[in-house]
Amino acid sequence: MLHRFSIKIGGASGTGINTVGMILSRALKRIGFFTFAYREYPSLIKGGYASYKIEFSDSELNSTSKYADINIAIDKASFTHLAKEAEASTIFIYDSDVIQLREDDMAILKEKNIQVFSLPLSSKAKEVGGDVIMTNSILIGAVWNLLGLSPEIITKAVIDVFNKTKEIEENNKKCTIAGFKFLDTQTKLLERFKPQEFANKRISITGNEAISFGAIASGVRAYFAYPMTPSSSILHVLAKYADKTGMVVKQAEDEITAANLTLGANHAGTRAMTATSGGGFDLMTESVSLSGMTETPFVVVLGQRPGPATGMPTWTAQSDLNIAIYGGHGEFPRIVLAPGDADECFYLTAQAHNLAEKYQTVVIILTDKYIGESIYSTDKFDNNKIKIERGKMLFENFDKEKERYEYTEDGVSERWLPGDRANTFIANSDEHDIHGNSIEDAILTKKIIEKRLRKEKSIMDSIPEPIIYGTDNADISFVGWGSTKHIILDAMDELERQGKKINFLHYSYVYPLKVQTLSKFAAKAKKLILVENNATGQFGNLLARYTNVKFHERFLKYEGRHFFVEEIIEKAIENEKGSKAKNS
Amino acid sequence: MSYNLRNKQVTALNFNSPVKPTWCPGCGNFAIFGALKSALADQNLTPTDVLITFDIGCNGNGADKINVYGFKGLHGRSIPIAAGAYVANRKLQIIAIGGDGGIMDEGIHHLIHAIRNNYDITIIMHDNENFGLTTGQETPTTPKNQPMVASPWGVIAERLNPVQFALIAGATFVAQGFSGDQKQLKDLIVAAMQHNGCSFIHIFQHCPSYNKFEDQDWFKKRIVNIDKLNGYDRTNRIKAIETVDYSNEKRYTGVIFEDKTALPFMDRIPYRKGKKSLLKDEVRVYNIEEILEEFV
């Protein structure tokens, strides 16, 4: 049994399950639980089957599991899905006003020894004088009571969210309290946890929100983007706070425009940014190449989803690493970051802008639907940790005879802005000389290509090695990148509770590739397992290009879903059994 | 920027670069770039006040033949680079140059949306009615039925009229010129740059290599200054569209349309009203503590 408790709510898109989930998560956090939430939804606006899964524990957790202690179905479609998924001896709640069960429906649940609660949610809401749309508040109250938790906290959480008018607040509060009377407390449910009532400073935040706030904090003053799932929420968040921050937030007319607006704005000296998904990034690759050639800073978030082509817009994958690293014709340096959680989303976004300006090139922040939309609970981000580094940007009193693209030792030339009283220059997509004039000369061509590529060594020297987690003498060693970070770390926690020895090497800076730590890690590893959310092992292939590291196994998942904690645990145990068999 | 002819401190010569032009002898670009340099000098601008973005093509090969801050971008994409630069620094004098290939073909949507958003930039389109640098293919401004190198049976698609196109997109300043009248071009460029909003100048450009069908002489017979048109109201968009239609014998040059009342993009953003600072000067750490409180 995992040291966590999870609740999964299923219903049609547009019927408020996200709000239910969010209120429960917030209230649980305020009691002192560490929480994590994940949403799944189909590519439509209303209807279909969507779900919200809340995981919580008294120790740190940042991943989803397959298992749900409580499944809640608020319509027939979700009932059908959840009844199938539900595991033995769990709890099942359903809205009996909306769902008429047949004998075989109940049979599925009875077979698995599932405790079923049928709640006539809308009748209850009407009875209390509330609206049918307040059935969710009844549900919240009922679930909260089932868990045996204090009513004040949940009522406050409900009011905090439904705070449109005094009347709406009051009605929802009434419904929550009425919901309380529905289900008797199952006192044993949470007895194995000891929540710590720490001060309410922890935030519940998605990866995309963290990226947005990292952008604001690090001085991004213009954001241009074309909506594309799963990155659209960055545009929405920045637009929501634009009047507070003064940032120019512009929905561009297509991805190519977004990329070029970003380049133009950066060229003229502000910090601008864009975000998209795989298909949109394909359109931007020409602009990536332009950034490399003109040495214009360019930060772009690539939120991955399954491809190719339109793929599955609302699902997750790690299958665009290749285009992040290789997209954009010609040879020029670039940096690819892959944050592993909300914290890294915040701090690495700030760092991305510093790197883009220091090395005057493109920095791609690789995320995915899983990290972009999962709701992590973490400490408030520390503004004091944000530093603005603009590299070799000259501001005043500099030599007016200087040329923009001088051949420097580290490959980075000094930079100034159009409008500055200095030597003019041309940021030229043609091959060019130190002034930026177009050239076709053999010697000058070679010279400037080498200058640009010299930046790679400078970049390599400045980025950090990947981080090792876990014990030294591990029996199983995982290697992963980006959003699989906490799925593996949480699995390690469970495995360590069982006395297993596991370690894990995680990459947040995936390109250029640092290999020193990996080589030492792999040399000591008894069983090296690669974990990736794609079909062809793109990161493994990148490692194979630069190292001789051999994996015992490549654990790949490509169903449009992220890894579940249980899958990593099973994989470790399976491989451990294998070794035991070998050694006996 | 005040347009003050009396205090001339710079001349067009200041805008010369040491790089020799590579255009064909007789190319309309000589006149256009000459007009451009004079227009900048006439406004008392120095090379460092000006950012010009260039497209790829014969027009773009002028990028290093003029001394200003330049950005030679990708084919069809000089306009969004200029727009982004304007958002970052609206004190810069920004001109986006492109040809009929880059602006009416590859990057036509950039034109539409720059006009809709009314970015305060000047767009100058060199229309020689073919893709010159790639040796003479048709573009949307090539006359229908004209045999071109990749369509020797003649152009079969309908011809686009750039001025009409810009007017329908909602342009707040549209002018039309001709590489055979450099003086008028200079005046049009000055007027366009002085306009507070997105200005579009369509220039019929002589191309001695690939356009023998509507060349300088063909135009000389048809060009009429629109100021000579009795009672022409340049604030009437529909009338402007009718007047410039290619079914007319005449080709009208001058300021075809202007709307002095429309606000440029940055001035339309409600939450930045009254904010005088430039985005390029706003890069610093911002405190997000207050925003994060909402996520507790």
Check: CATH 3.40.920.10 for A5-194?
Answer: yes
What pLDDT, on the 0 to 100 scale, is given for residue B5? 41
Mutant choice from A424, A434, A441 vs B, greatest count of B C-beta within 10 A = A424
Set of chain B residues whose Cβ sits within 8 Å of the Cβ of A299: none
Q: pLDDT tens-digit profile of A248-272?
A: 999 999 999 999 999 999 999 999 9
Long-range contacts, B266-274 (Cβ 8 Å, 24+): B266/A248, B266/B86, B266/B87, B266/B90, B266/B120, B268/B118, B269/A248, B270/A243, B271/A242, B271/A243, B271/A246, B272/A246, B272/A248
Subunit contact B283:A426, Cβ cutoff 8 A: no
Subunit contact A224:B84, Cβ cutoff 8 A: yes
Subunit contact A264:B88, Cβ cutoff 8 A: yes
For residue A216, the chain B residue with the least C-alpha distance is B286
- Chain mean pLDDT for chain A: 93
A522 has a pLDDT exceeding 50:
yes
Q: What is the mean pLDDT of residues B164-172?
A: 98
Set of chain A residues whose Cβ sits within 8 Å of the Cβ of B74: 260, 286-287, 290, 429
Q: Are strands A502-507 and A553-556 parallel, antiparallel or unpaired?
A: unpaired
Set of chain A residues whose Cβ sits within 8 Å of the Cβ of B15: none
Decide if A238 contacts A216 (C-beta within 8 A).
yes
Cα B108 to Cα B76: distance, rounded to the nearest angstrom: 8
Cα B240 to Cα B243: distance, rounded to the nearest angstrom: 5
Cα A368 to Cα A345: distance, rounded to the nearest angstrom: 11
What pLDDT, on the 0 to 100 scale, is given for residue A164? 77
Subunit contact A290:B74, Cβ cutoff 8 A: yes
Q: pLDDT tens-digit profile of A216-237?
A: 999 999 999 999 999 999 999 9
Subunit contact B282:A260, Cβ cutoff 8 A: no
Please spell the DSSP secondary structure of A209-239, one letter per residue. HHHHHHHHHTT--EEEE---TTTHHHHHHHH
Q: pLDDT tens-digit profile of A34-83?
A: 999 999 988 888 888 999 999 999 999 999 999 999 999 999 999 999 99
Would the pTM count as exceeding 0.90? yes
pLDDT band at residue A165 under the 50/70/90 scheme: confident
Q: What percent of chain A has pLDDT over 70?
A: 98
Subunit contact A219:B285, Cβ cutoff 8 A: yes
pLDDT band at residue A173 under the 50/70/90 scheme: confident
Q: pLDDT tens-digit profile of B138-164?
A: 999 999 999 999 999 999 999 999 999
What pLDDT, on the 0 to 100 scale, is given for residue A134? 82
Set of chain B residues whose Cβ sits within 8 Å of the Cβ of A239: none
Q: How far is A327 from chain B (nearest CA, A)?
A: 16
- Chain mean pLDDT for chain B: 95
Subunit contact A254:B109, Cβ cutoff 8 A: yes
Set of chain A residues whose Cβ sits within 8 Å of the Cβ of B271: 242-243, 246
pLDDT band at residue A413 under the 50/70/90 scheme: very high
pLDDT band at residue B245 under the 50/70/90 scheme: very high
What pLDDT, on the 0 to 100 scale, is given for residue A233? 97
Burial of A167 (0-12, 13-18, 19+ CB in 10 A): exposed
pLDDT band at residue B9 under the 50/70/90 scheme: low
- Report the residue from B91, B113, B279 with minimal CB separation from A270: B279
For residue A213, the chain B residue with the least C-alpha distance is B288
Which residue(s) pair with A364 in the sheet?
A300, A336
Q: How far is B51 from chain A (nearest CA, A)?
A: 6
Residue B217 makes CB contacts below 8 A (sequence gap 6+) with none
Would you say the CATH fold of A467-583 matches that of A204-385? Answer: yes
For residue A243, the chain B residue with the least C-alpha distance is B271
For residue A202, the chain B residue with the least C-alpha distance is B296
Structure-token match 């950005």, residue found: B71
pLDDT band at residue A533 under the 50/70/90 scheme: very high
What pLDDT, on the 0 to 100 scale, is given for residue A584? 43
B112 has a pLDDT exceeding 60:
yes
Set of chain B residues whose Cβ sits within 8 Å of the Cβ of A386: 285
Q: What percent of chain B has pLDDT over 90?
A: 95
Secondary structure string (H, E, C) spanning A301-363: EEEECCCCCCCCCCCCCCCCHHHHHHCCCCCCCEEEECCCCHHHHHHHHHHHHHHHHHHCCEE
CATH of domain A204-385: 3.40.50.970
* Residue of A361 and A202 predicted with greater confidence: A361
Subunit contact A267:B85, Cβ cutoff 8 A: yes
Subunit contact B84:A268, Cβ cutoff 8 A: yes
Q: Is this complex scored with an ipTM above 0.85?
A: yes
Which H or E run includes A79? Answer: helix A76-85
Please, what sign has the CA dihedral across residues A240, A243, A247, A250?
positive
For residue A269, the chain B residue with the least C-alpha distance is B280
Please, what sign has the CA dihedral across residues A139, A142, A147, A151?
positive
Subunit contact A267:B56, Cβ cutoff 8 A: no
Q: How far is B180 from chain A (nearest CA, A)?
A: 28
Which residue(s) pair with A47 in the sheet?
A13
pLDDT band at residue A1 under the 50/70/90 scheme: confident
Q: What is the mean pLDDT of residues B83-111?
A: 98
A534 has a pLDDT exceeding 50:
yes
Q: What is the mean pLDDT of residues A477-500?
A: 97
Q: What is the mean pLDDT of residues A137-145?
A: 91
Structural tokens at position A550: 């051999």
Domains annotated for chain B, with CATH where assigned, are: 5-293 (3.40.50.970)
Subunit contact B48:A424, Cβ cutoff 8 A: yes
pLDDT band at residue B291 under the 50/70/90 scheme: very high
Q: What is the mean pLDDT of residues A314-327?
A: 98
Set of chain A residues whose Cβ sits within 8 Å of the Cβ of B270: 243
Which residue(s) pair with A554 in the sheet?
A530
The number of C-beta contacts closer than 8 angstroms across A and B is 205
What pLDDT, on the 0 to 100 scale, is given for residue A105? 87
Map out the domains of chain A as residue ranges. 5-194, 204-385, 467-583
CATH of domain A467-583: 3.40.50.920
What pLDDT, on the 0 to 100 scale, is given for residue A579? 64
A276 has a pLDDT exceeding 90:
yes
Set of chain B residues whose Cβ sits within 8 Å of the Cβ of A389: none
Q: How far is A181 from chain B (nearest CA, A)?
A: 28
A500 has a pLDDT exceeding 50:
yes
Decide if A535 contacts A559 (C-beta within 8 A).
no
pLDDT band at residue A102 under the 50/70/90 scheme: confident
- CA B21 → CA A229, A325, A420, A437, B61, distances in Å? 47, 38, 26, 12, 8
Q: How far is B214 from chain A (nearest CA, A)?
A: 31
B119 has a pLDDT exceeding 90:
yes
A130 has a pLDDT exceeding 80:
no
Residue type, A269: G
Cα A138 to Cα A161: distance, rounded to the nearest angstrom: 15
What pLDDT, on the 0 to 100 scale, is given for residue A200? 60
How many CB atoms neighbour CB A160 within 10 A? 15
